Chains A and B, each alone.
Chain A
């Protein structure tokens, strides 16, 4: 069969000249700044996300210092925080309680939106969608560029709000009014909150521009043969994430818009019967609960917007490094679709004790616990994928295994929190903090790390240092568990969230040991990220040169040149003949392959290892695809020793 292909390839070899994509002069600005190349935009998102992650992480260290060491003299932070460190009578410095709330708020906002939405989904959707589906770029490169620059503008606004004399937004990342609407009630609800709302509006625009692009690209620009049932799970995850984003982010925008109206134009959407700072306000008839409904209509799907891409990346990494097909490919897609649909009808489980009608609470409890089923299926499928694998522990693989563990450990407590009778007590305690930091925060963060370690060679043509990667993983994995696992205990003891200090209550004047332990663990974990930061930026310039397909992976991006130019493939885009998970296929050796058969290898050349239904497809591909496939000549180079 190989002869046939070569013959075809030869006849078409002359056609290559026509396929050369246009060479346009690139300046520094068009290449690195206002670029429309999806790969560069992905790197822009990634670098911005990493910078934000360090800021968001640093904030958590600051407030953990307060919680773990309440009597500590913080005056050494004065050069950094200035007036937010208040000098007490005894000469020691203490963190301003409102600034503590601002730190908590900005930590949440930054991590959820700027790191795990833009930095994770923005990076990998942009980078992998065209490369894995076989497209030259996004459907609209210009919109893609706008998507980044809207995000950049949003970042600038959010960052500058940190420097206001009244501080940044401080009412929690959920910015519930009336607290977020009344500067009289909280200093951060002044200019800081205005900037928060403006920044988030720009962010939503950025997210929508990105999502529309992802969806259009996946639907329209798949290479020949790349049917939906041959898409890598990464692409399925990005696709579903984008759909969720498009349906839910506009609702957050409406919530933000009405809040802007209440704050600046005297309307009463969320405000009613308020007496604050010695004055009765004119607002009557609004409902703060309305905001919560609107907010969580995005807020809950947002959990899956950050989680699904991480799960998608993990699927790909686990299959590749376990040298096994992902178990239950169809079930994985089915559960992601199930999660996507259900994610829209569970939002009010964040609101069981807001005074909402208890009958609604009943409905939302049932819907919420249904969503645990597809999540459980995903976890089981990951575990089964490891079973009888041949696992290579690359840093990416280890972060993926870590993700599955965190996803389970954080997920099971959701069963308790979703049970509204039990949530009455646990709502707004540290139990919730532990739950979502494990299942959504840390799990998604691990997915992002897995993605970076795995696709770094594709992004920069160089490898990251493995040993630093291992050290980074173990410190982070142990660190994350030591930070968040003890929070279950203090949560069960009833400790409320967002408390500046616990010494005022008899009931909460315990567990000083655990709080100190958590803070120390947080500092170690954060410091370990510096190893990553160094590794990332160092390897970008001085890492070892990568080979074209360092992980011996099946997906299309590894068929592109080591450092692909704009357009991704020289010559024709490869066609796709099979699904992406033909790892360790029985009898592959008889066809001249090792333990992986890339997606662009036709069934015609793997007759020994084909499954019965795959043999049936040979006639079709010989008739419709192989004669036209000019990339097959290149296939020979990719698979040295394959024939």
Chain B
């Protein structure tokens, strides 16, 4: 019943619109005030609107940004972020200036040079000097920005740090699997054909390096110690994204990728730091704590991967050395936790190898 009423109301609105439209149209024809050769009488109104609306709109947008800056720019906690954040802020200021100056000129000219009867526009076709100036000025600004970006990119992306903690992450629909290399510091080989419900990462148990590898459901890393994530995907593309560390890398089936970072603040330190920020004092509905107290570094998937794309959350904890060692001591190798399974799997994997189906592990 309500639906029918709603539809009737909508139809009525449309009918009213049509009647008003038709009537005003007839009136304007009667008055003959829309002669196409005559400049529209509302010309001045539009000129003023072009001046006022952008001014009001962008001021409101600016006001909102200033009042929510702490939310708009989230905290960061890695060495590479220490490089890129100032660059980002600097570039943002530069583009804001460009944005304001050019838009202001555009709207001001639109306003100032609105139609006036008897005025004749200036026949101004070309000016080589002007063209050169506004080719070179943006070019120079861009070069300055790019060169800095290039230096940062080289530092962040070119060579992985030595003596880093190695961790393997594998994206799949719809979660991350994480493997640590264990005491030998080396990640064992895997083969996607060995994957099953228990051996989710397809470990090749003939590789001795796998014996001490352990899996976790929450990543722990140590403050100021570089860490290299060896990233792969099991089914479709994913993207391993760490917003607070300003790092990201796609996970690609068949093509292992890497990213590295050095965390600069432990989770506890970050919680402490956020106490000083008013926007982190609101109570979070889910955890019931303030956003500062409940703060966690999070990992998200940032390449569309299907139904659960929005739910591939993983917590990453940055510990100090003592806590990290404590946590490390509690971890047990996969082969130890799943002794029976591994014994069976070893035999199966050997058989598969002998049959020639399974190929070389990576």
- Chain B 110-145, CB within 8 Å of chain A: the 1/0 string? 100111100111111111001100110011001101
Stretch binding the partner chain, chosen from B239-247, B317-325, B333-341, B342-350: B239-247
Q: Name the B residues within 8 Å of A505 (CB-CB).
A: 298, 300, 313
> In the docked arrangement, what's the CA distance between A392 and B125, Å?
19
Q: Is the CB of B154 within 8 A of A390?
A: no
- Could you tell me if A486 and B61 are in contact, using CB atoms closer than 8 angstroms? yes
Can you report 29 A-B residue pairs in the complex whose CB atoms are below 8 A from each other? A171-B304, A271-B253, A272-B254, A272-B255, A274-B192, A274-B254, A275-B202, A275-B235, A327-B127, A328-B125, A328-B126, A329-B126, A330-B126, A354-B250, A365-B149, A366-B150, A390-B121, A391-B113, A405-B106, A416-B92, A419-B145, A477-B53, A496-B241, A496-B300, A498-B304, A499-B309, A509-B285, A510-B71, A595-B121
Assembled-state Cα–Cα distance A420/B197 (Å)? 39
From 111 to 152 in chain A, residues with beta carbon under 8 angstroms from any chain B beta carbon are none
For the complex of A and B, list the 3 residue pairs with the smallest distance between their C-beta atoms, beginning with the closest: A272-B254, A355-B257, A421-B152
Q: Is A591 interfacial (CB 8 A cutoff)?
A: no
**Are A507 and B21 touching (Cβ within 8 A)?**
no
Contact between B255 and A390 (Cβ–Cβ < 8 Å)?
no
Kindly identify, within residues 500 to 536 of chain A, every residue whose CB is under 8 Å from any CB belonging to chain B.
500-511
Q: Closest chain A residue to B308 by CB distance? A: A97
CB distance from A9 to the nearest CB of B (A): 26
Complex-state Cα separation, A640 to B291, whole angstroms: 74
Whether a CB of chain A sits under 8 angstroms from the CB of B1 is no
Residue B68 interfacial (CB < 8 Å): yes
Residues of A within 8 A of B (CB): 97-98, 101, 171-172, 176, 178-179, 182, 185-186, 271-276, 278, 280, 284-289, 322-325, 327-331, 353-355, 358-359, 361-362, 365-366, 369-370, 372-373, 376-377, 379-380, 382-384, 386-394, 398, 401, 404-405, 408-409, 412-413, 415-416, 419-422, 424-425, 427-429, 463, 465-468, 470, 474, 477-478, 481-482, 485-486, 489, 492-494, 496-511, 544, 546-547, 550, 552, 581, 583-586, 595
Q: What is the CA–CA distance of A67 and B235 in the complex, to the nearest angstrom?
A: 27
Contact at B113–A322, with CB atoms within 8 Å?
yes
A494 to B313, CA, bound (A): 14
- Kindly specify which of B81-89, B181-189, B203-211 makes contact with the partner chain: B81-89
Whether the pair B109, A387 counts as a contact (CB closer than 8 A) is: yes
Query: Chain B residues with Cβ under 8 A from A583's Cβ?
Result: 121, 123
Given contacts A276-B173, A288-B254, A354-B252, contact A365 B150 (CB under 8 A): yes
What string of 1s and 0s marks CB contacts (under 8 Å) between B250-268 and chain A? Answer: 1011110100000000000
Report yes or no: B254 in contact with A398, Cβ–Cβ below 8 A. Answer: no
Given A322-B121, A390-B116, A493-B71, A286 and B49 touching (CB < 8 A)?
Answer: no
Q: Are B95 and A415 interface neighbours, CB within 8 A? A: yes
B141 to chain A, nearest CB (A): 9
A186 to B307, CA, bound (A): 7
Smallest distance from the beta carbon of A273 to chain B beta carbons, Å?
A: 4
CA distance A547 to B241 in the complex (A): 59
CA distance A503 to B311 in the complex (A): 9
Give the shortest distance, in Å, between A351 (CB) and chain B (any CB): 9
- Please determine whether B286 and A489 come into contact, CB atoms closer than 8 angstroms: no
Specify which of B72, B131, B237, B247 is in contact with A288 (CB 8 Å cutoff): B237
Across the interface, B254 reaches (CB within 8 A) one of A273, A380, A394, namely A273
Residues of chain B within 8 A of A494, CB atoms compared: 74, 243, 300
Decide: A427 near B135, CB < 8 A? Known: A272-B255, A393-B114, A501-B310: no
Contact of B102 with A by CB under 8 A: yes
Residues of B at under 8 Å CB distance from A? Answer: 21, 24-25, 29, 34, 36-37, 39-40, 42-43, 46-47, 49-50, 53-54, 57, 61, 64-65, 68, 71-74, 83-84, 87-88, 91-92, 94-96, 98-99, 102-103, 105-107, 109-110, 113-116, 119-127, 130-131, 134-135, 138-139, 142-143, 145-146, 149-150, 152-154, 156-158, 172-173, 192-193, 195, 197, 202, 234-237, 239, 241, 243-244, 246-250, 252-255, 257, 284-287, 291, 294-296, 298, 300-311, 313, 359
Given A354-B252, A412-B95, CB of A377 within 8 Å of CB of B135: yes
Q: Is the pair B359, A419 in contact by a Cβ cutoff of 8 Å?
A: no
Q: Do residues B42 and A470 form an inter-chain contact, with CB atoms below 8 A?
A: yes
Name the residue on A nearest B43 (C-beta): A393
Q: Report B-chain residues with C-beta under 8 Å of the C-beta of A408.
A: 98-99, 102-103, 106
Verify A419–B46 contact, CB threshold 8 A: no
Tell me the smallest distance from the CB of B228 to a CB of chain A, in Å.
14
Partner of A421, one of B84, B253, B287: B84
Measured between beta carbons, the chain A residues less than 8 angstroms from B47 are: 391, 393
Contacts of B247 in A (CB 8 A): 424-425
Tell me the minimal C-beta distance from B227 to chain A in angstroms.
16
Q: What residues of chain B lie closer than 8 Å to A585, measured between beta carbons?
A: 123
A98 to B308, CA, bound (A): 8
Report yes or no: A172 in contact with B150, Cβ–Cβ below 8 A: no
Q: Report the Cα distance A325→B134, complex, angstroms.
A: 19
- Given the interface pairs A178-B237, A355-B249, the reply to whether A497 lies near B304 with Cβ below 8 Å is yes
Q: Are A504 and B310 in contact (CB under 8 A)?
A: yes
In the assembled complex, which residues on chain B have CB atoms less than 8 Å from the CB atom of A101? Answer: 304, 306-307, 309
Contacts of B250 in A (CB 8 A): 353-355
A579: nearest chain-B partner, CB-CB: B125
- Determine if A424 and B84 form an interchain contact, defined as CB atoms under 8 angstroms apart: yes
* B109 and A383 contacting across the interface, CB-CB below 8 Å: yes
Q: Looking across the interface, which residue of chain A has its beta carbon closest to that of B202? A: A275
Chain B residues closer than 8 Å to A413, beta-carbon distance: 95
Chain A nearest Cβ from B145, distance in angstroms: 6
Chain A, residue nearest B81 (CB): A425
Q: Are A97 and B307 in contact (CB under 8 A)?
A: yes
Q: How far is the CB of A194 from chain B (nearest CB, A)?
A: 18
Taking CB as reference atom, which chain B residue is nearest A187?
B307
Inter-subunit contact B99/A463 (CB<8 Å):
no
Contact among B150, B234, B239, B284 for A428, CB-based, below 8 A = B239
**Are A428 and B302 in contact (CB-based, < 8 A)?**
yes
How far, in whole Å, are A511 and B67 apart by their CA atoms in the complex? 13
Find out whether the CB atom of A372 lies under 8 angstroms from the CB atom of B36. no
Instruction: Beyond the given A276-B235, A506-B287, please list 5 additional residue pairs across the A-B interface where CB-CB is below 8 A.
Output: A272-B254, A324-B124, A393-B115, A422-B88, A547-B36
Which residues does chain A contribute within 8 Å of B285, judged by CB atoms? 509
Q: Is the CB of A419 within 8 A of B284?
A: no
Instruction: Kindly state the separation between the CA atoms of A199 and B113 in the bound complex, as whole angstroms.
Output: 47
Give the CA-CA distance A581 to B234 in the complex, in Å.
Answer: 60
Measured between beta carbons, the chain A residues less than 8 angstroms from B29 are 544
Task: Flag if A415 contacts B110 (CB, 8 Å).
Answer: no
Question: B296's closest neighbor in chain A, by CB?
Answer: A506
From A176, A285, A398, B237 is in contact (CB under 8 Å) with A176
A489 touches B65 (CB 8 A): yes
Decide if B105 touches A383 in the complex (CB within 8 Å). yes
A98 to B174, CA, bound (A): 13
Least CB separation from A474: chain B residue: B49
Q: Give which listed residue, A288, A391, A409, A465, contacts B253 with CB less than 8 A.
A: A288
- Whose C-beta in chain B lies nearest to the C-beta of A547? B36
Contact A504 B309 (CB under 8 A): no
A368 CB to nearest chain B CB (Å): 9
From A182, A272, A416, B95 is in contact (CB under 8 Å) with A416
Q: Residue on B with the closest CB to A425?
A: B246
Given contacts A353-B249, A390-B113, A546-B36, contact A179 B236 (CB under 8 A): yes
Q: Which residue of B lies closest to A366 (CB)?
A: B146
Contact A271 to B73, CB < 8 A, known contacts A419-B149, A497-B304: no
Do A415 and B91 contact each other (CB < 8 Å), given the known contacts A392-B43, A425-B246, A468-B21?
Answer: yes
- A386-B310 contact in complex given A276-B235, A421-B149, A421-B152, C-beta closer than 8 Å: no
B284: min CB distance to chain A, Å: 7
* Smallest CB separation, A581 vs chain B (Å): 7
Least Cβ–Cβ distance between B30 and chain A, in angstroms: 13
CB pair A362 B150 closer than 8 Å: yes
A355 to B153, CA, bound (A): 14
B139 CB, nearest partner CB in chain A, Å: 5
User: Which residues of the partner chain A approach B113 to less than 8 Å between Cβ atoms?
Assistant: 322, 386-391
